[in-house]
Amino acid sequence: MTRGHGPTVRRRRLAGELRRLREKAALTIDEVGEKLECSSSKISRIETGHVGVTPRDARDLLALYGVHGDEQEALVQLAREARKRGWWHAYNEVFTGAFVGLEADASSLRAFQALLVPGLLQTERYAYAVIRAMRPGAVDSEIERRVAARMARQRLLRDPNPPEYWAIIDEAVLHRVVGSREVMAEQFTQMSEIARLPHVTIQVVPFEAGAHSGMEGPFLILGFPEMADPDVVYVDSTNSGFYLELESDVRRYSLMFDHLRAAALKPEDSIEAITGAARRFAK
């Protein structure tokens, strides 16, 4: 896998370039919609990356913006590549947003979780218990499908070219029983093993650290290898999440993460804390 070259990142890159070219042409979204006889909301969704753009639409937009020749053809080709389907489309009823596509192409992932083991680190049984608790009305087949999707995501950390993954959890995660004590022992045993991979760092923020910068809630900072693809913050919630792409927002969350790293136990001490939790639950 080549980081930063998947369809989701390409769509995001194309969206940003189309927005830049429209602004350079001194056209408003409404004016573009009127000239191309389409809704302004379609243009807006294209520019935010919420919908893909066909090669034909890309060519029409670029011609309107005065872009021709090799530059136009390069961007139309980008539109073609952005329409390719990633592995996650097999789980399109589970992954309804761009999150997994961005995660798959990130060169670095910095995650904070205060209540749960991060999704990329969860065992199958822990994931089942978490999803069952969050979706009490769901049928077994839906739960199993969501667990399978989560397990498929985890191949990312075993990829020949994996991202740098840095996860910070609150100590509360090491005490809350999810599923059963047996499930917890298995979870933390696996987690301590993953923490020893060369591209993975896990830290625990101890209770004694008191109030900390992550108390607002979980978040993930996704970094990309190309300058054309700025970092993005994904702020998680129970039913959905939202993205923050403004440089000021990304900088704010990066600073929060730095403060969390400083407040947390050192990586080697964190592994010992996780291993200790596994032994405690195994008794």
- Give the H/E segment covering residue 243: strand 241-244
The separation between CA 70 and the C-alpha centre of its own chain, rounded to angstroms, equals: 33
How many helices and strands, by DSSP H and E, does the chain display? 11, 6
Alpha-carbon span 163 to 75, nearest angstrom:
27
Angstrom distance (rounded) from CA 271 to CA 176: 18
132 contacts 143 by C-beta, under 8 angstroms: yes
Indicate the CATH number for domain 7-84: 1.10.260.40
pLDDT of residue 4: 53
Domain-by-domain residue ranges, the chain?
A: 7-84, 93-122+153-282
pTM of model > 0.75: yes
Per-residue burial over 253-276, b = 16 or more CB atoms within 10 Å of its CB, e = otherwise: beebbeebbebbbebeebbebbbe
pLDDT tens digit string along 15-46? 888 998 999 999 999 999 898 888 989 998 88
- CA within 13 Å, CB half, 188: 28
Report the C-alpha gap between 21 and 61 in whole angstroms.
9
d(CA 241, CA 166) in angstroms, rounded, equals 20
pLDDT at 1: 44
Q: What's residue 5's pLDDT?
A: 63
Interval 200-222: pLDDT, tens: 999 999 999 998 988 888 999 99
Specify the CATH superfamily of domain 93-122+153-282: Endonuclease Chain A (3.30.870.10)
Helix, strand, or coil (residue 211): coil
Local confidence pLDDT in tens for the 283 residues of the chain: 455 567 777 788 888 889 989 999 999 999 998 988 889 899 988 887 777 788 898 999 999 999 998 888 888 888 887 777 777 778 777 876 677 888 888 999 999 999 999 999 999 999 999 999 999 999 999 999 999 999 999 999 999 999 999 999 999 999 999 999 999 999 999 999 999 999 999 999 999 999 898 888 899 999 988 777 888 898 876 566 777 888 899 999 999 999 999 999 999 999 999 999 999 999 8
